[in-house]
Structure 1
C-alpha cells in the first residue's frame, strides 16, 4: 500500500494538466486533480476557443460586403452581441462537460477546489480544508492577464477575460498591446463595427515575428479601419460622468472611449500557491523554473504550460503534460522540442508561421535565400477588396534546408500546421520545388517561387 494518497496530483484543470492526468491514469497511476474555477483552462474558457468564435463572428461584416462582387445582394443586416455571447457560453459549457467526462472516464479523482502546497508532498484543498498527499505533483496553473498597476484609473480597464462577458458591445474601444491577443481583439471589435484604436509601446505590432510579416499585417489591419498608435502607452484613465473614459497617453494624446482593454501579456499564475513551502524555485517573473523534462528543482514536482513561461501555447502545454505522464508512469521518457513550433495569429488578415524569422536565421548562417510573394488573393479580384496576401520562405543557402515559412492571408493557420510537418522532416527548397502545385490556390505560391527575391551572403 502506498504511503501517499495519490501517485500523481495535478494542480490545474487546463489543457496541460488534464492531458497529464488522463495519460497518467491510463498508465495505471492513481491520479487526483484540483481545479478552482472551470475545467478546460484559459484556452477553452476564456482564451483561444471563445476568441476564435468571436473572430468568425467578426468576419461576416466583410463577407457580406464581398458577396456583392459575386452577384449576391444581401438585404438588411443586424448583429446581436447578446445572441453571440449566449451561443459562445453554450459552446464553452459543452466543452467543459467533455473535459470533466474525459477525466471521470479515465478514473481521475477531481476536486473542485484550489490546491496549495503545505510541503513538497502535501496539498491543502482550500474549499474543504482537507489535505492530500502525492508521490509526484504537477503544477499546471497557467497564467493570468496583466494590467499596468502604475496607471492611475487602471481599475476602469478590462482584459480579455472581461471582454468575453461584456453586457453590451461598446461603440468605441482602445486595445492596449501589440501581441497575439491585442491584435486579434482589435480585429474582432473592428469587424463587429466598433470604432477601434490599438495602442502599442513599440514601433510595430507583433514583436518577435518576422519583420516582413509584421509590416504586412500592420498595413492590412490599418486598412481595415483600426487606428494603430505606436510608441505610446496610456498614463491616465479617468471615468467621465457619462460613463465613458478619458485616456491620456505618454505622448500627450487624449482619447475618449467606451472601453479600454489591456492585452500586455500574461503572468505565470503562482501567487498564493505556496511554492515556498514546497521549496520550489521561481524565476524573477514568478514562473516556475523547470528543466527540459519539466521537472522543478524539487525532484518529484513538475510544472507544464504557461506557469513555466516557456512557450505560452495550448498545444505546447498539452505536449508537455503528456511527456511528464509518459515519463513517470508509461516507461517511455521523452521531452518536448520547443525549437520548431508552428503557430497562428487570428488577426485579420490571419497569420501563420513556422520556423525561424529572417533575423533568427541570420544568427544561424549569414547565407540565406529569401523567397517572397505578395499578391492579391483570387477572391478579391471580384470582391474588389484591397487586401494582400504574403508568403515568405527562408532557406539556408549552404544546404538548401527551409528554415522558416511565414504567411499572411486566408487560412494561414491551417497552412502553418501542414508546413510544420514539412519543416520537422527537414524539408529543403528542392522538396518544395518538385511538389506539384494545386491550382488555383494561394498555397501554390509556396511551390512555384523559383528565384529568390533576395540573396544574403556573409563576408
Structure 2
C-alpha cells in the first residue's frame, strides 16, 4: 500500500459509485475516497427516478378524483399548487441526499464535494488542486441528457431542469419517443399542461415490444397528448408570445416550454480518460468487460457511464460486485440477463422483462399469449383505457421468454413476474398457478390458448 493515498478513489456520487464506495470501505476495510461535484445521489435520486416518480404520483390525482366521484365520493378538485409541491419535493431530495452522505460517513469514506479528473495513471486531481494517488479508480459519473445541435437549441430544457421550473407552463412541447419523453408527456398532461409530443419515428418506445408500444402510443393520445409521429424540430425562436417552434415539415407552433428527451450520453467528457489510456466507445462510454474492468488494469467503471443497461438497480449491482471482487476476495460479475424495467406513463404503465415478440420470433418458433380488457376499477368509473397482458413463449422449450404488461401498477406486477421468468418458468408453470381473483394480474395465469403462433 506504500505510495498510495487511498486503495480506491471513486469519481461520481450516484447510486453505483456510492454503493461501491460504501461496500469497499464499510464491509471490506479499504481506504476509500469519493468525489462528487454536484449533489450526492446522482441522476436517480436528484434529477431522475425519484423526483420523476413523485411527479407521476402528483399527476395521477385528477383522474383518481374523477374516479372517486364515480364511486360516490363528493370530491371537489382545485388547482394544482406547483410551488407547494416543488418545495416538498426539494425537501424530500435533501433528505435522501443526507441519507446517502450518512451512509458514506458511517462506512468511513472520505468525501470530496468537488470535481475530480484523472491527471495520469492512478493519480486523481481535484478542482481544489489537491492530488491523490489511488491503487484503484472507479468511474461512476453516469450520463447526461443529449440535445442535438440546431438553431435555438439553447431555448430547450431537459429532464435536469424540469424539476426546477418556477412555474408550470401552460403549453409544452416534449421532443422524443423514449421512456423519458413519454413519461414527462404523461406527467405534464396529468398536471394540466397542454402537451404536444414530437417523435421522428413511426411509434414511440423503440426497442420495446411492438404491441406494447402501440398500446402506450394510443393511450397517450386518448389521455389528451397531441402525439405527432414523424415529426421533429428544425429551429426554435423566442418571441413575445413564447417559443416559436418550426418543424421539419415547415409548420410553426408556439409553446411556453420545449422539453427535450432525446436520449442520454455517458458523462466522460473532460475526465482525462483517453489521455490515461482508457478506451472509449462511439458514444463516449467507457468500454468494460464483464468484471467492469476498463482497458487499463487500475480503472473500472460502473453504471450509465458504461452504457450497458442504464438502470439504477443495475448500477448498484455493478458497484457492489466490483467492491466484492476487488476488495472482498469474492469474485463475481453482475448479472445483466433478464433485467425487468418499467415505463411510468398514465393511466397505464408498461412493465417488461425478457424478449419482445419480435426478438423471440427472430430466434425461433414462438407462441404468443395476449389479452386486452378494461380493468374493473376504471370500467366501473366509466373510463375507457384498456390493459394488455402478454406472454412470449418458446414453442420448443415451453419456457416463458418474455412478459409485457400495460396496466396501472404494471411496474409492481413485472417485478414479481421477473422472478418466475428468471427461474426459468414454463408456460405450464404459469398455468398451474392459481389465480388471485378479482385482479388484473390473474390474466397472466389464465390465458390457455395462444393468440398467435409461428
TM-score bracket relative to the smaller structure:
over 0.9
Measured after TM superposition, the shift of residue 221 of structure 1 is 1.1
Where in structure 2 are the equivalents of 1:51-450 lying within 5 Å?
51-126=52-127, 128-149=128-149, 151-242=150-241, 244-348=242-346, 349-365=348-364, 367-450=365-448
Q: Distance in 2 between matches of 1:277 and 1:115?
A: 15
SS, match of residue 227 in structure 2 = strand
Q: Distance in 2 between matches of 1:387 and 1:8?
A: 51
Q: Distance in 2 between matches of 1:182 and 1:28?
A: 42
Match of 1:453 among 438, 444, 451: 451
SS, match of residue 77 in structure 1 = coil
Q: Distance in 2 between matches of 1:192 and 1:234?
A: 24
Partner of 1:14: 14
Instruction: Report the more deviating stretch, 64-73 or 445-454.
Output: 64-73
Give RMSD over aligned pairs: 0.8
Mark the CA change 1:361 to 1:252 in structure 2 (over 3 Å): closer, same or farther.
Answer: same
Measured after TM superposition, the shift of residue 449 of structure 1 is 0.4
SS, match of residue 441 in structure 2 = coil
Measured after TM superposition, the shift of residue 338 of structure 1 is 1.5
Q: Distance in 1 between matches of 2:170 and 2:135?
A: 53
How high is the TM-score relative to the length of structure 1? 0.97
* Contact persistence 1:6–1:31 (CA under 8 A): yes
Measured after TM superposition, the shift of residue 385 of structure 1 is 0.6
Measured after TM superposition, the shift of residue 30 of structure 1 is 0.8
Q: Distance in 2 between matches of 1:106 and 1:40?
A: 16
Q: Distance in 1 between matches of 2:245 and 2:269?
A: 30
Aligned residues: 452
Q: Distance in 2 between matches of 1:306 and 1:450?
A: 40
* Contact persistence 1:175–1:262 (CA under 8 A): yes
5+ long unaligned stretches in structure 1 = none
Matched, 1:37 2:38: yes
Q: Distance in 2 between matches of 1:218 and 1:403?
A: 24
Measured after TM superposition, the shift of residue 2 of structure 1 is 2.8
SS, match of residue 326 in structure 1 = helix
SS, match of residue 280 in structure 2 = coil
SS, match of residue 116 in structure 1 = strand
5+ long unaligned stretches in structure 2 = none
Q: Distance in 2 between matches of 1:76 and 1:222?
A: 23
Measured after TM superposition, the shift of residue 76 of structure 1 is 4.4
Q: Distance in 1 between matches of 2:284 and 2:164?
A: 28
Q: Distance in 1 between matches of 2:350 and 2:54?
A: 17
Q: Distance in 1 between matches of 2:353 and 2:280?
A: 30
Q: Distance in 2 between matches of 1:107 and 1:355?
A: 39
Matched, 1:5 2:5: yes
Instruction: After the TM superposition, list the runs of 4 or more consecutive aligned residues in structure 1 that deviate by more than 2 angstroms.
Output: none
* Contact persistence 1:120–1:277 (CA under 8 A): no
Q: Distance in 2 between matches of 1:369 and 1:396?
A: 6
Q: Distance in 1 between matches of 2:153 and 2:3?
A: 49
**Deviation digits for residues 113-170 of structure 1, max 9, x if unmatched?**
11000111000011x1010011110000001111111x10111110011100000100
* Contact persistence 1:138–1:303 (CA under 8 A): yes
Q: Distance in 1 between matches of 2:303 and 2:361?
A: 29
